[in-house]
Chains A and B, each alone.
Chain A
Amino acid sequence: MQFLQFLQEWPLLSIVTFLPGVAGLLILLIPATRRDTTHKAALAAGGTVFAVSLLVYLAFQPGGPRYQFEEYFAWLPQLGISYHVAVDGITAPLVLLTGIVMFTGVIISQRIEERPREFFAFLFILATGVFGVFVSLDMFALFYFYEIAVFPMYLLISIWGWKQTREYAAMKLTLYLFIGSVISLVGGLAMYFASGLGTFDMLALEGANFSPQFQILWFPFVFIGFAVLGGMFPFHNWSPDGHVAAPTAVSMFHAGVLMKLGAFAALRVGIMLLPEGAKFHLPWIIFLTLVNVVYGAYIAMVQTDFKYVIGFSSVSHMGLVVMGFASLTPDGYIGAGVQMVSHGIMTALFFAVVGMIYDQAHTREIAKLGGMAQKMPFVAFAFTIGGLVSMGMPGLSGFIAEFPIFMGVWQSDKPWIAIVAAISIVITAAYIMRLMRRVFYGEFPAEFEGHVHDVSRSEKVALGLLAFVLILIGIFPGVMVPMVESGVEHIFVLLGGL
């Protein structure tokens, strides 16, 4: 938008990156007795971050320079480490996604009773890490923020999570993600030394011309190390356990944003810095993503726990993102870029709904639930929107995202993969319809009478915001697709314009 152009000069990215972390530390200073203040401060911080991320999105010029809002500060020039941030057409939507999920997550967390100060502090520090990864153009800074984003998860899940599995799930998740990130780190260091440029700046490393042997050797480590966080088969196992054990806002953040972090870093460091390696390896990695998509959907269908269904549906949908990358076609990348945002918002909405129902009904067993639409009609409406997105219904963001992915795969050398992957749409429809019927319609169980009510107004606002974005992208793809396209163009310059 033209009138916002003056914002390009502002350090918006530093603000959006560090504001959550600083707010989190300040919240720690509020006296423990003043819970109300804590919640209000968290809400204010979340709202501000959302507003800033929206400004970044709106002021981004799809036709402008590749990287916008650029900021540079020589952090440790002796080793070529810098704090170099900017957004391109792929990351600007991801920054907005993080802002939305953070804001709605804070709204949903207004009911946290146990140690709210620490909860919001850790959640906000995590948000700083996430923003940092999306905007970093320096590989060192990217790893730095990546680890900041991964670690608070352990405490958030183990302290505020679901009692039955939280310790196990938190540890499993943390170890999986750390193994992934440190393996990538070794690859990153290898790139740093092999380039001979003495810099971690990824824009410089893009032109390093690594030898094909080097790229083919290191690509799997870097790519798969990050893709662990993207939930790639066979390293997806931490994700459903983690999502189910986490408290609502953390599940939203985790499935909604953190998994995109993995996919994005795999793209940014793996594919964009090692394009020859990508061309060599992605043709077989696409088979793994196919397993993700179909097997994930199938496992989701047979779950009896509401939250596990959503957890495995994330595995399935994230598989589509990586499949888009692996297709090595522009359409696939555009779809993957939009899918990251669409799935992030959709799954945040799903987890929010699961949390609202569990808070009141105290069960997530699908068989025991029913008739929720009578008591909470707006929740049922929002869930329906999310469900239709999940099925890829035209007119909603899921279609805008998934259709190009299938198109991209169809144009690759293995079109039959698109056909097999499309089976997942049918399976998805099956489990979503089943959820809607069992949980929201049918008979309202008598035991819930009296303690299951409609949700509060602020929670409706959160659900409404999420559903609105899903519809908006579906009806007006123009608000996002051209932007993603501009980012994808550059990736294909690096990939040698396939």
Chain B
Amino acid sequence: MQANTLAILPEISLAVLAALLILIDLRLKPERKALLPGITAAGLLAVLALTLAFARPGAAPESIWGGMLRHDTAAFVFRLIFLFGAAVTCLFTIGWKQVERRGEFFVLLVLSTLGMTLMAAAGDLIMLFLAIETASIPLYVMAGFMTADEKSTESGFKYLLFGALTSSVMVYGFSLLYGFAGTTDLYALAAAVASGDLPPLGLLGALVLVLAGFGFKVAVVPFHFWAPDVYEGAPTPVTAFLSTASKSAGFAVVVRFLLAVFPAAVLPQIIGVAALMSVLSMTLGNSAALAQRNIKRLLAYSSIAHAGYILMGVAAASLLGAASVVYYLAVYLVTNLAAFGVVIIYFNVVGSDEIKDYAGLSRRHPGLAFALLVALLSLAGVPPLGGFFAKILVFAAAVEAGLIWLAVAGVLNAILGLYYYLMVLKVVYLDRGPDEDKPLPVRRAHMAALVVCLLLVLALGTVLGPMYDWSNLAAGGLF
């Protein structure tokens, strides 16, 4: 029992943190409310430390709380990813006027993170559905948080509508799965699927319905329509959170579902479905990104493309594939947070997200320009940054699985990606702007968050061992 409780220590402490934040928000004097993001970030980092110290899983994965949750390395590593993402997001909300003094925003953020940690650990269809909704509903509100801003309202509403639709399709898929297998436990379901007694066509149909829900969370083609508008309209810190932690949570579920519950050995069609979605996402995301003028939309399409690269690891349906997904998500988290960090810092001063307004940034603030350079190059997959090794891993997984054509499609897409990242860097480094001489103040907290992210980007691209081991353990824990 005690081990069971320790295993959900992160969830317990997140719930406590959310409750505390409500109280603090009530007691804090209005002029001191600007402390809220810092307090939340500190709280999240404390939860992160607690998780690292007490909630480590054993060598063998366990089912706990009557099979509702799984206590394995996959859940553990993903928890760390979400908590880190949430903490950095909090730091970046400092100075975001409509948000930074609103206690309820941070409560929602913590609750959404709680939902994500449960998503990564869910071992039961019911639990999984509840976790996904716990993670999503706060996000709908957060995306539409700037009620005075039409785009933000539109963003929140659009996200809600698409989310509700795909959720209902997904839960229908869940009900079919229950109907076929007579169990809601994921690993009992896996055993039933592996026995081969269930009708393959029916399973495939149910799986496609379920994938609609997951596909929405991770924003892959053809469930990506919401992403550009929502990313553009939402407050940028929320966009950062959506594109990193929320996407990772979606993939945590995807890898568990597709690799552990529906092994390709039983349903070989899955590989085809995943590979097709991967190619479409990469190609569509990258080609649409070419035409963007707004940096948030560009990063939205780039995030669709990256979901495609990550799906390549899923399509490989192997241990290396699953490990590559985890590694990729960790790299993508720190890299994209850094990129959005620069966007947020720049927006706070300049008030624009248009790419053309980034002209002259390298003369105005060389450090910030360099941060954007590192982040975008890592997204493009240039060594010695993390993005390079992450891409190598997914390509390697595809090649190992014999999906050479998929790997070739991936590398050609990497070129497209490089092109539009370079176009942004061209504006930053080459074009002259009118305000080059004006100072560009950067808050210490922002700078600290940015530096941590960038160091991690570099570390993940040079010191490969530790994260690779974790990814491998996480992948092993899925089965």
Interface residues of A (CB under 8 A from B): 32, 75-76, 78-79, 81, 118, 140, 143-145, 147-148, 151, 154-155, 158-159, 167, 171, 174-175, 178-179, 182-183, 185-186, 189-190, 192-193
Contacts of B412 in A (CB 8 A): 179, 182
B404/A186 in contact, CB under 8 A = yes
CB distance from A62 to the nearest CB of B (A): 33
Contacts of B384 in A (CB 8 A): 144, 148
For A190, give the chain B residue with the smallest CB separation: B399
B399/A186 in contact, CB under 8 A = yes
A81/B464 in contact, CB under 8 A = yes
Q: Which of B377, B411, B415 contacts A151 (CB 8 A)?
A: B377
CB distance from A447 to the nearest CB of B (A): 30
- A189 and B394 CA atoms in complex are apart in Å by 11
Say if the beta carbon of B268 comes within 8 Å of chain A: no
Given contacts A76-B468, A79-B468, contact A178 B399 (CB under 8 A): no
Contacts of B399 in A (CB 8 A): 186, 189-190, 192-193
Question: CB within 8 Å of A: which of B230-251?
Answer: none
Say if the beta carbon of B64 comes within 8 Å of chain A: no
Contacts of A145 in B (CB 8 A): 383
8 closest A-B pairs (Cβ-Cβ)?
Answer: A182-B411, A189-B399, A76-B464, A144-B383, A151-B382, A147-B383, A193-B400, A189-B396
Say if the beta carbon of B104 comes within 8 Å of chain A: no
Contacts of B396 in A (CB 8 A): 189, 192-193
For B408, give the chain A residue with the smallest CB separation: A186
B419/A185 in contact, CB under 8 A = no
Contacts of A118 in B (CB 8 A): 366
Given contacts A78-B468, A185-B411, A193-B400, contact A174 B430 (CB under 8 A): no
Question: CB within 8 Å of A: which of B418-447?
Answer: 418-419, 422, 425-426, 429-430
Given contacts A183-B411, A185-B395, contact A78 B472 (CB under 8 A): yes
Given contacts A78-B465, A190-B399, contact A158 B430 (CB under 8 A): yes
CB distance from B321 to the nearest CB of A (A): 13
Say if the beta carbon of B414 comes within 8 Å of chain A: yes
- A189 and B468 CA atoms in complex are apart in Å by 18
User: Does more than half of chain B's interface fall in helix, strand or loop, or is it mixed?
Assistant: helix
Say if the beta carbon of B99 comes within 8 Å of chain A: no
For A150, give the chain B residue with the smallest CB separation: B382
Contacts of B429 in A (CB 8 A): 155, 158-159
Contacts of A147 in B (CB 8 A): 382-383, 388
Say if the beta carbon of B149 comes within 8 Å of chain A: no
- A182 and B380 CA atoms in complex are apart in Å by 12
- A148 and B378 CA atoms in complex are apart in Å by 12
Contacts of A75 in B (CB 8 A): 464-465
| Beyond A155-B429, A189-B395, 4 additional pairs, beta carbon < 8 A | A76-B468, A140-B392, A158-B426, A182-B411
Say if the beta carbon of B354 comes within 8 Å of chain A: no
Say if the beta carbon of B122 comes within 8 Å of chain A: no
Chain A to chain B contacts (Cβ below 8 Å), 26 pairs: A75-B464, A76-B465, A78-B469, A78-B472, A81-B464, A144-B383, A144-B384, A144-B388, A151-B382, A158-B430, A174-B418, A175-B419, A178-B414, A182-B411, A182-B412, A183-B411, A185-B411, A186-B399, A186-B411, A189-B392, A189-B395, A189-B399, A190-B404, A192-B399, A193-B396, A193-B400
Question: CB within 8 Å of A: which of B334-371?
Answer: 366
Contacts of A154 in B (CB 8 A): 422
- A190 and B377 CA atoms in complex are apart in Å by 25
Contacts of A189 in B (CB 8 A): 392, 395-396, 399-400, 407
CB distance from B475 to the nearest CB of A (A): 12
CB distance from B289 to the nearest CB of A (A): 15
Contacts of A190 in B (CB 8 A): 399, 404
- A222 and B200 CA atoms in complex are apart in Å by 41
Binary flags per residue of B451-479, CB closer than 8 Å to A gives 1, else 0:
00000000000001100110010000000
Question: CB within 8 Å of A: which of B372-404?
Answer: 377, 382-384, 388, 392, 395-396, 399-400, 404
